[in-house]
Amino acid sequence: MLMNVQKTVTKSGLRVVTSAMPHVQSVAFGLWVGVGSRYEPDALSGISHFTEHLLFKGTKSRSPRDISTAIEGRGGYLNAFTGEENTCYYARVGFDQTDTALDVLTDMYVNSVFAPAEIAKERGVIVEEIMMYRDQPRHMVQELLAENLWPGHPLGRPIIGTPESLAGMKQSTFRRFVGEQYVPVNTVAAFAGKVDHAECVEKVERLLGRRRASGRARAFQPVRAHLMPKRAVFQQKDIEQTHLALGIRLFGHRDERRHALKLLSAVLGENMSSRLFQIVREKHGLAYSVQSHVQLFQDSGALTVSAGLDRKRKARALELIVRELQRLKEKPIGAAELRRAKDYIVGQIRLALESTSQQMMWAGENVLTRGRFIPPEETIAKLEAVTSVEILALARAVLREANVSLAIISPDLGEPEQRRMRATLGSF
């Protein structure tokens, strides 16, 4: 799918990127800020996510209710998310409400007041969110895995922070954080839908042009080669299933092998045709849910396998998962299987980009994290060029014992079974 994308850098350093879709009746608008959990010192763990919540809690001219009703009361959608390396505030509205969405989000970005009463209430809300996640073993096993893959590093901490780290944050903390990070040079304004690029640039400059042009993105702590993943962590919990997460630590998102990696993951476990689904679920009946996933950061990343398993046969399930990973190192993927993987990934890209929201996400994230817009056709061409020999070489390079970590949450964890699973990991 061709995207009609234009990009302008304003005098203040803020980047404006638009993807014109004149045939649609809506606009998706997002403000992307280049800060997330990996930029936080230990004492401020969770501040990026906490700040995201607080920007919805009132500005100099709008109450929290005013913010939500300004968008939702006109049939739109308003939300935000925080990741390890960025934070995004976004809205989707009818094209005739573009100015409203722009005004509300920029007001939140510039004029949030961080009222002490709202900070106290929202701290309680986030602590409850933390407790909710702790009651979800499927979520907690991923946190345990991250802690093992990046031990003692910000990437190994939960994005949401902890009750202890949130406790000391006050109004001055957030004002200082926003003053340092929410600056033009660290921000991208992304639009997709029925928009005109020149008009968007003019409106953004009018609303945000007075923001100081100075400021810099906080440097992150790199993942050093000596920071080795820990082998395995087992946690016993009174639940019905065993939850497993196996991770292989990798390179960052600028590595050209990322296209081969995406295809490897598709073959391994991204859909019902994948090897893991067919073996672990269909053939052996050990899981309802089993899948693989790729997440890449600037200088590191991981290929993850997740599963909810039969509690009595978790060791056998791990052996099957590791066997499938080993198969990727033993011989090239066949032509038909590789073709299916390519068709699947390309199809997913094309289906997603029919949406204004997804075009905005594609453009905004590309410009913020990679410094330029990467056309979908460029990504598709690179995926199509990947050979089975390249995937084999990648598997042999990264699927090694030194890169692997395992997290298990289970209702029963006997020592013999733990030894068996550790021995399975040693077979890499």
Q: Are residues 183 and 236 in the same domain?
A: no
Q: Are residues 44 and 101 in the same domain?
A: yes
| Within a domain: 224 | no
Query: Could you give the CA distance from residue 159 to residue 302 in angstroms, rounded to a whole number?
Result: 16
> Which regions of the chain are under pLDDT 50?
none
| Within a domain: 401 | yes
Residue numbers of the domain that contains 156: 4-208
Quick one: pLDDT at residue 217? 56
| Within a domain: 75 | yes
User: CA torsion sign, 262 to 264 to 267 to 268?
Assistant: negative
| Within a domain: 251 | yes
| Within a domain: 223 | no
Q: CB of 35 within 8 A of CB of 207?
A: no
Q: What is the 3-state secondary structure (H, E, C) of 111-158?
A: HECCCHHHHHHHHHHHHHHHHHHHCCHHHHHHHHHHHHHCCCCHHHCC
Query: Could you give the CA distance from residue 299 to residue 147 in angstroms, rounded to a whole number?
Result: 17
Q: Are residues 61 and 93 in the same domain?
A: yes
Query: Could you give the CA distance from residue 146 to residue 249 in angstroms, rounded to a whole number?
Result: 10
- Give DSSP secondary structure letters for 6-35: EEEE-TTS-EEEEEE-TTSSEEEEEEEES-
Quick one: pLDDT at residue 215? 57
Q: Are residues 161 and 45 in the same domain?
A: yes
Q: Are residues 111 and 70 in the same domain?
A: yes
Please report, for the domain that includes residue 344, its CATH number: 3.30.830.10
Q: Are residues 118 and 263 in the same domain?
A: no
Quick one: pLDDT at residue 190? 98
**For the CA atoms of 153, 155, 158, 164, what is the dihedral angle to 10 degrees?**
30
Quick one: pLDDT at residue 212? 65
Inter-CA distances, 267 with 22, 328, 340, 387, 427, Å: 36, 9, 8, 13, 21
193, 208, 223 — which closes off a domain?
208
- How many structural domains does the chain have? 2
Query: Could you give the CA distance from residue 385 to residue 377 in angstroms, rounded to a whole number?
Result: 12
Query: Could you give the CA distance from residue 290 to residue 245 in angstroms, rounded to a whole number?
Result: 10
Q: Are residues 419 and 294 in the same domain?
A: yes
Quick one: pLDDT at residue 221? 86
Provide the terminal-to-terminal Cα distance of the chain, rounded to the nearest Å: 40
Q: Are residues 405 and 356 in the same domain?
A: yes
pLDDT digit string (tens) for 33-57?
Answer: 999 999 999 999 999 999 999 999 9
Q: Are residues 339 and 418 in the same domain?
A: yes
Q: Which residues pair with 307 in a beta bridge?
A: 244, 290
| Within a domain: 216 | no
3-class DSSP state of 190: strand
Quick one: pLDDT at residue 213? 59
| Within a domain: 362 | yes
Two structure tokens written together for 117: 């009463």
Q: Are residues 158 and 242 in the same domain?
A: no
| Within a domain: 153 | yes
For tokens 């299987």, what's the residue? 337
208, 242, 261 — which closes off a domain?
208
- The DSSP letter of residue 401 is G
The reply to whether 122 belongs to the active site is: no
Query: Could you give the CA distance from residue 271 to residue 34 in angstroms, rounded to a whole number?
Result: 31
- The alpha helices in 150-196, defined as continuous H runs, are 163-167, 171-181
Q: Are residues 266 and 201 in the same domain?
A: no
Quick one: pLDDT at residue 363? 97
Q: Are residues 161 and 287 in the same domain?
A: no
Please identify which of the residues 52, 122, 147, 324 carries the catalytic annotation.
52
Quick one: pLDDT at residue 209? 78
Phi, psi of 410 (to 5 degrees): -150, 155
Two structure tokens written together for 217: 């993105």
